Structure 1
Amino acid sequence: MPMRSPMSTVLACAFLLNACLVQGGGSLSAAETVQGLGEPGKAIRLAAVVGGSEAESQITLNRGDRAQIIATAHFDSGQLRDWTRKVVYRADPAGVVSVDSQGLITPLADGAAVVQVGGEGLSASVKVEVRHFAHPPQVNFTDRISPLLTKFSCNGGGCHGKSGGQNGFALSLLGFEPADDYDYLVKEGFGRRLFPAAPDRSLLLLKATAAVPHGGGMRISRDSDEYAELRLWIEQGMPFGSDDDPVMESISVYPKQVIMPLDGEQQLQVLAHYSDGSIRDVTRQADYTANNRELGDCGANGLMTALGQAGDVAIMVRYLGQVAAFRATIPRGAPVDQLPPVRNVIDGFVFDKLKDLGLPPSPVCDDSTFIRRVTLDIAGRLPTFEETQAFLADAGPNKRADLVDRLVDSDAYADYFSQKWAAILRNKVDPQVQRDGNFRFHDWVRTHLNENRPYNELIREVVTASGNEVRNPAVNWHRQVKSVEEKVEDTAQVFLGLRIQCARCHHHPFEKWSQDDYWGMAAFYSNTREKPGQKVYAIRGIAQSRHPKTQALVRPKPLGEETLELTADDDARVALADWLASKENPFVAKALVNRYWKHFFGVGIVDPEDDMRATNPASNEPLLNGLAEHFIKSNFDLKDLVRTICKSSVYQLDSIPNDYNASDRQAYSRFYPRRMPAEVMLDSIDALCGSQTRFTGLPAGMRAVQIPDHGGVNNGFLNAFGRPAGASACECERNGEMSMQQSLQLLNSDDIYNKLVGSRAQQLATDPRSDEEKIEELYLRALSRPAKETERTAFLAHLAKFEANQKRGAYEDILWTLINTKEFLFNH
């Protein structure tokens, strides 16, 4: 492509400064005066917790145990504040326990003590009993040592937990096989890693403290509690533990949820609960991960810190394969007294959240923004010049709702969303299979969406599909997703919003799903077969899978449900489909509405949209539950869901931030701008330039959003802008980020040059209308709004420099400039 002229480059620079999309901005001076929760008032009560609740302010400790006190101040305003690091601690009598300034209790001798907690004239106390200090019980490897290996990343995927281990020493990933890890530590290497006669000379401790060279560097210090625990275990002769030792069944975190200031802190306490009813404080042994580190983070000692931004943050707590979650709401504290009207179920839930956060929303967007936004989101195209003119001229009060209805009922909606679902269901080119099946599958999905058949019917037809692709195109999913394991994982990820891949080999590190759960799901597909001619069918026989570790046979079991008793004549997939399609299914509706919410807002209520778990909670739980309930009551009506979302006031909010919500990425106080998907962008450039992209092997006139499968079209523009290959069911395969390659495509590629010289520039050059009218048309086509005076003046000045027979080049310059603005490239 020839480089654009220097004049057009100068014009573009001036124009981009004037017409770039505002994604941030808004003075924060007003927000800085808002102090989140505001002044708490007068402290009227102090509570000290050591056993997980105020009713259980007592704990029993053995030698090597620790206990974290949580001190909470209650104010006359109703606010609560963490005072754990603000109060003073005193143990009475002295010598039984010590308490540091962070509220951590350490046993010193057998006996009973009371820890007095005081500050600002208020006091509280906790009771502690120390047992077996002189003769501590044996340290259980699984319960006490394995968690330390996890905490210090020894058994992580980047260290000794990776396949084959590291430098001759291997551990199971994240400690999921403690018996194997015990053998690796104690019995391998001729016992050189551990030295019970002189524990401090054990290679394990020397390496961990970096007393001898260690590739992982220093992981613990000699004066740490963890070192003392490891040393005691070695001193005791490295016991593994006995069969009658109590088994840890769950963990809990205290507090579970708080409202905290923008710059606040909250100490957490984590308790392990055992089969004999005992509890143990594992606050310093647990692992903490924040789901949004822009809002808050948590250190290894369990101290969660807010980072000055409003929103909700969750801390995932993990210990010995068990998980729990702590949630903090961090309000901005601004008045929320001017809200758009509540139009449907969505608005009430979102506006309630904004009130809780003290986060005022941006105003409702103008008509130009709305028609462009909703047409791109529903139809995957720009509104036409004629559609925009008619919409802007319409003074009717229901014109936005009417527009949504027209778009949802249009062929373009079915085109756009069938491509979305074809990608999710992995409709991709397979060199070993004829492409006809891909076309039939895409057409089947499109018909399903166009006729608005219930979503749970689509699930049933995919899961139970039998026969060949001619008579039943849905079998194409089974042809693409071939193995039992792939079917299990795609079923969970696509229809349930769950990522259970980890549970194939070990207990899921972030969830409750075990290998038994995984292989119980696998049993549903155990009798599914494919034979030459691409015919999919289920063979007769008892549906069951084999557990890869225990070799036990596992019968079909839906996630979180009881095992099903099926006969040899039953197609187990039908039973799975019955569960998936049921209105009582706890996952399907939430997963679908969350997936569609992300489509329209750019971020899921749970994000990523297919990773729904207790440790990745929704940013607005009532919204997720309410929208899922609405979807179920509509009989899984996808078009109704699209209408509900797009007719809400929340969807119609402006993307330009106000003084308070520039940093909001999860409360939906404004619309979040996002780059157009690759196919939509290519079609939009074609529509603006009057050009048409040809795709090899596909009919002429086909738009990019109509391409039926993935992997069969090698288009440089689509590749550069992140069109997925269809290798995964995860929509994360689509890359929505900007890159240098994309900038070069837009600025100086042959693809763009060939479009600029298309019919639009020639038509405008020979059009007898005034240049003002033609500039106005271009703006309505590209941005769905009239040109601003400064923009109009700049372009008219540029056009005035060209003779009549050179105007085509001038209009090419203008098209090129518009294409390269963020306002064009982004849906906002």
Structure 2
Amino acid sequence: MRIGFYYIIVSFFAATNLIAAELNIYAVSKPNEEAKLIGPDAYLQLVVTGGNVSDMTRSVSYEADPSSIVNVSETGHVTPLADGSVKVIAKTAEGLSATIELTVEQFGTPQPINFPNEIVPLFTKHGCNGGGCHGKSEGQNGFKLSLLGFEPTEDFEYLVKEGRGRRLFPAAPQHSLLLRKGSGDLPHGGGARFEHDSWDYKAIVRWMEQGMPYGSPDDPKLESISVYPSSRIVEPGAEQQLAVSAFYTDGSVRDVTGIVSYESNQKEMGEVDQSGLVTMLRDQTGDMAVMIRYQEHVSVFQATIPLGVPTENFPVAKNFIDEKVFTKLKTLGLPSSEICDDTTFLRRTAIDIAGRLPSLQEVEDFSSNDHPEKRSQWIDSLLSTTDYAEYFSNKWAAILRNKRKGATYTRGTQAFHEWLMGSLHANKPYNQLITELVTARGEIGHNPASAWFRNVTDQKERLQDTAQVLLGVRLQCAECHHHPYEKWSQQDYYGFSAFFSRVGKKKTDVPGEEAVFHNVGLATAKNPKSGEDVKPKPLGGEELNIKPEDDPRLDLAAWMTSESNPFFAKMLVNRYWKHFFNRAIVEPEDDMRVTNPPTNPDLLDSLAGHFVKSGYDLKDLIRTICNSTTYQLSAIPNDHNAGDRQNYSRYFPKRLTAEVLLDSIDGITGSSTAFSGQLPGTRAVSLPDDSYNSSSYFLTVFGRPEMDSACECERAQGASLAQTLHLLNSKNIQDKLAGAGGSADKLSSQGERTNEEKVVELYKRAFSRGPKDDEMKTAIDYINKKTQQAKEAEGKINEANKMAYEDLVWALLNTKEFLFNH
């Protein structure tokens, strides 16, 4: 095995007399060992950092002393020329310098190549084994590779033992089909993937010249990888060279910077090339990450790109949320917006907490209230209402898939929804609520939580939904192969699946309903790849020995809800943060993997810690978020934060959900929507399941989820032409506007009130504020115009007045201010 192909990383700081105080060189090594290049094909990538923590790898000049031992390129790439020791000096134009000592050994002895460690990663690096190429299940043009190289033994079979003469030609490697197509010498659907003089091309040639070995059973196996630097503040337009270390079972540390795969998760903010050079794009600020993949392991480099604007005048911080957010904004040099006014706050919180607009009385009471804590008091009052419980049970019913699949499901979906609503209204601790859910037994009539096991029908769906909804882990990929962006293997997948392997269901006396019970027996799940029966295994933990008479779901619930669980609390606070800010700290909110890092790790950790310390108190979490200055910032951008979506420097407007919008339209028009099987006056946010979508075109066109998925992304929040047309001229909306007893009908018949008073009322109902002067003038002028036209035509003045108010209400409900929470 070739053991010289690696970087040695050693830090050289001011304590080392070889390095200037403002300059240091970083390379890869075992601790306290000198950097070595072993064999003629080894190389080393230097990373040079300036005193202001900026990358200078490509801005310094290099000198080797003596010059006969190594060659150093302008990019800091070191290759051996002969055995011996050498000093490499990096110099700036200003005269600063730093030195690192290297040793070259066995220059005359080519090192053995290991197929999984050194050849398979090249296929991943160049995209050959991706899902759109030879890595897809059926392969491509007769040539198949395992997806992302997760099955190297299969790749060896595909490459070496199938059609050997066609793909590989050991006697003359350069004439092999593999290299001729890969280099572009022959037509190739994927185009040229590497140059003839590249290290990658030459490595495949050397491997064939060595007889195409797979490697020895004694060769060390990969344990982990890491990247240097792991994070850094990088100016817009600047560069950062990365160095990646691989740690093996024999204790060796090797450079894999040149053969790993890199992928930017924010390509609009930063790019990365195959050498590990990250380039920040100009005019962008915030965080971007680069995922590094080597074999089945991943690591992440995270860059913070500052704006650099002075940030002396932040609003007063009210709690730890503000401290964490404002600290990040100061690091970025990104000023926040001002605090929103009372009317904006009132409407925002009513929608976000209770799923409704404030009533006219609430608007007037809040406006006249001069108590210094009136905002906190208002938040508390919303949390005490059934409106809050109805709204959030609507949210949970969707992601827990409370779907009515037929008439026999009606009782169950209603009972499950009521269980959710009662739990939230009573502020049942979240850990208790989830324990009741995943361990539910019995009939729906006695234990409504058991309906989840009917809605989520099989073992596969239960494990995947549990992981995604409750832990923020998307395990679906690991069912068939190692997760491409995570550490989870098929063994992890089936170990987690085993927790649900003893769930039994039996029919009850109620048609269409089943009782959930623990089917006594040994809990295991079969890994179809290995044929092994896998015991229950928490994610990231060890297999559990659970007695056949014990329900493994109890162990699962205990592990999930333990204070030390790394996923449970973070997932919940991340989900709730997105609810209020329209962007999660980890986005998407249920994809919390190491390769998708949080934009503000300290904030996420603090929120999760606070949530656990509170006893998993959901109302306290909402109260803490909504009382923060961060939540109460204005949606109006300043000169610098209009494009900020990551750092919460302002409130980001979001369209009202389908249910809230329908209820709000009913409110301003003075109408109500009838739902089959529900009591008159039932709000849309109170509907228990998906079945009402089919009878309400409004709910469908505005994106109410069908509850087929555990992902909140099933709810469509975008705008469409169909939505616009429906609001503008649908019969549904016109009937609400013109209905007897509706707002327009009542206002037009109230002769004792002035038109100005009526306009104020409409504005307060719609926007929680009175009209501005120009808005009042426009409204009054229009009403007077319609009345005057009726007089001149000797028409019905009352009818004209009513139509004027219909038009006014129609105009208000079609404004962005009404349709969005801001």
User: Could you tell me the TM-score, scaled by structure 2's length?
Assistant: 0.92
The aligned residue for residue 614 of structure 1 is 594
Distance 1:476 1:64, change over 3 A: farther
> Partner letter of residue 265 of structure 2?
N
CA distance in 2, matches of 1:528, 1:262: 54
> Partner letter of residue 821 of structure 2?
N
The aligned residue for residue 774 of structure 2 is 790
Q: 1:724 aligns with which of 705, 715, 735?
A: 705
Q: 2:533 aligns with which of 545, 553, 563?
A: 553
The answer as to whether partners of 1:523 and 1:556 remain within 8 angstroms in 2 is yes
> What secondary structure is seen at the aligned counterpart in 2 of 1:80?
coil
Is 1:800 paired with 2:773?
no
The aligned residue for residue 426 of structure 1 is 401
Is 1:816 paired with 2:777?
no
Q: 2:764 aligns with which of 774, 780, 796?
A: 780
Match runs of 1:187-266 below 5 Å: 187-266=161-240
The aligned residue for residue 48 of structure 1 is 25
Is 1:117 paired with 2:98?
no
Greater relative contact order: 1 or 2 (C-alpha under 8 angstroms, separation 6 or more)? 1
5+ unaligned residues in a row in structure 1: which ranges? 1-42
CA distance in 2, matches of 1:62, 1:773: 88
Bigger mean CA offset, 461-470 vs 210-219? 210-219
> Partner letter of residue 90 of structure 2?
V
Match runs of 1:406-805 below 5 Å: 406-431=381-406, 433-533=408-508, 534-714=514-694, 715-758=696-739, 759-768=742-751, 769-803=753-787, 804=797, 805=799
Is 1:325 paired with 2:300?
yes
The aligned residue for residue 309 of structure 2 is 334
CA distance in 2, matches of 1:482, 1:155: 34
Distance 1:771 1:63, change over 3 A: farther
Query: How far off its partner does 1:480 sit?
Result: 1.4
> What secondary structure is seen at the aligned counterpart in 1 of 2:578?
helix
Query: How far off its partner does 1:177 sit?
Result: 0.7
Query: How far off its partner does 1:55 sit?
Result: 6.4
Query: How far off its partner does 1:469 sit?
Result: 0.8
The answer as to whether partners of 1:44 and 1:73 remain within 8 angstroms in 2 is no
> What secondary structure is seen at the aligned counterpart in 1 of 2:693?
coil
> What secondary structure is seen at the aligned counterpart in 1 of 2:786?
coil
Query: How far off its partner does 1:135 sit?
Result: 3.4
Distance 1:300 1:431, change over 3 A: farther
Distance 1:414 1:52, change over 3 A: farther
> What secondary structure is seen at the aligned counterpart in 2 of 1:71?
strand
CA distance in 1, matches of 2:257, 2:112: 21
Query: How far off its partner does 1:433 sit?
Result: 4.7
- Residue by residue, what CA displacement relative to the aligned partner does 1:262-305 show, whole Å, maximum 9, x if unpaired? 33221111111222222222222222223333433322221122
CA distance in 2, matches of 1:359, 1:152: 38
- Residue by residue, what CA displacement relative to the aligned partner does 1:187-216 show, whole Å, maximum 9, x if unpaired? 223531111111111111111122222111
Distance 1:121 1:260, change over 3 A: same
CA distance in 1, matches of 2:407, 2:734: 37
Percent of residue pairs bearing the same amino acid type = 52
Q: 1:92 aligns with which of 56, 65, 69?
A: 65
> What secondary structure is seen at the aligned counterpart in 2 of 1:726?
coil
Query: How far off its partner does 1:741 sit?
Result: 2.5
- Residue by residue, what CA displacement relative to the aligned partner does 1:29-70 show, whole Å, maximum 9, x if unpaired? xxxxxxxxxxxxxx9522111216996662324333332110
The answer as to whether partners of 1:50 and 1:57 remain within 8 angstroms in 2 is no
- Residue by residue, what CA displacement relative to the aligned partner does 1:315-339 show, whole Å, maximum 9, x if unpaired? 2211111111112222222333223
Distance 1:772 1:712, change over 3 A: closer
Number of residue pairs the alignment of both structures matches: 782
Query: How far off its partner does 1:555 sit?
Result: 1.5
The answer as to whether partners of 1:51 and 1:57 remain within 8 angstroms in 2 is no
Is 1:184 paired with 2:151?
no
Distance 1:741 1:67, change over 3 A: farther
Query: How far off its partner does 1:596 sit?
Result: 0.6
The answer as to whether partners of 1:48 and 1:54 remain within 8 angstroms in 2 is no
The answer as to whether partners of 2:573 and 2:604 remain within 8 angstroms in 1 is yes
CA distance in 2, matches of 1:291, 1:138: 35
The answer as to whether partners of 1:287 and 1:317 remain within 8 angstroms in 2 is yes
Bigger mean CA offset, 690-699 vs 571-580? 690-699
CA distance in 1, matches of 2:82, 2:714: 58
CA distance in 1, matches of 2:684, 2:664: 10
The aligned residue for residue 23 of structure 1 is none
Q: 1:65 aligns with which of 30, 42, 55?
A: 42
CA distance in 1, matches of 2:356, 2:699: 15
Bigger mean CA offset, 598-607 vs 610-619? 610-619
The answer as to whether partners of 1:46 and 1:124 remain within 8 angstroms in 2 is yes
Bigger mean CA offset, 625-634 vs 106-115? 106-115
Match runs of 1:156-195 below 5 Å: 156-195=130-169
Query: How far off its partner does 1:144 sit?
Result: 1.0
Q: 2:380 aligns with which of 405, 408, 411?
A: 405
The answer as to whether partners of 1:61 and 1:128 remain within 8 angstroms in 2 is no
Q: 2:331 aligns with which of 353, 356, 359?
A: 356
CA distance in 2, matches of 1:231, 1:514: 32
- Residue by residue, what CA displacement relative to the aligned partner does 1:728-759 show, whole Å, maximum 9, x if unpaired? 11111112222222222222323322222231
The aligned residue for residue 360 of structure 2 is 385
Query: How far off its partner does 1:445 sit?
Result: 0.6
CA distance in 2, matches of 1:750, 1:299: 56
The aligned residue for residue 825 of structure 1 is 819
Query: How far off its partner does 1:237 sit?
Result: 2.2
The answer as to whether partners of 1:249 and 1:273 remain within 8 angstroms in 2 is yes
Query: How far off its partner does 1:128 sit?
Result: 3.2
The answer as to whether partners of 1:59 and 1:127 remain within 8 angstroms in 2 is no
Bigger mean CA offset, 103-112 vs 513-522? 103-112
The answer as to whether partners of 2:335 and 2:649 remain within 8 angstroms in 1 is yes
Bigger mean CA offset, 509-518 vs 778-787? 509-518
Query: How far off its partner does 1:636 sit?
Result: 0.8
Distance 1:654 1:738, change over 3 A: same
> What secondary structure is seen at the aligned counterpart in 1 of 2:180?
helix
- Residue by residue, what CA displacement relative to the aligned partner does 1:84-105 show, whole Å, maximum 9, x if unpaired? 1101122333344322211112
Distance 1:151 1:244, change over 3 A: same
CA distance in 1, matches of 2:452, 2:531: 29
CA distance in 2, matches of 1:802, 1:636: 57
Distance 1:819 1:56, change over 3 A: farther
The aligned residue for residue 80 of structure 1 is 53
CA distance in 1, matches of 2:27, 2:147: 32
> What secondary structure is seen at the aligned counterpart in 2 of 1:263?
coil
Is 1:106 paired with 2:82?
no
CA distance in 2, matches of 1:815, 1:487: 46
Query: How far off its partner does 1:309 sit?
Result: 2.6
> What secondary structure is seen at the aligned counterpart in 2 of 1:229?
helix
The answer as to whether partners of 1:53 and 1:254 remain within 8 angstroms in 2 is no
> Partner letter of residue 208 of structure 1?
G
The aligned residue for residue 11 of structure 1 is none
> Partner letter of residue 423 of structure 1?
A
CA distance in 2, matches of 1:178, 1:417: 47
Query: How far off its partner does 1:111 sit?
Result: 4.1
User: Could you tell me the TM-score, scaled by structure 1's length?
Assistant: 0.91
Distance 1:59 1:787, change over 3 A: farther
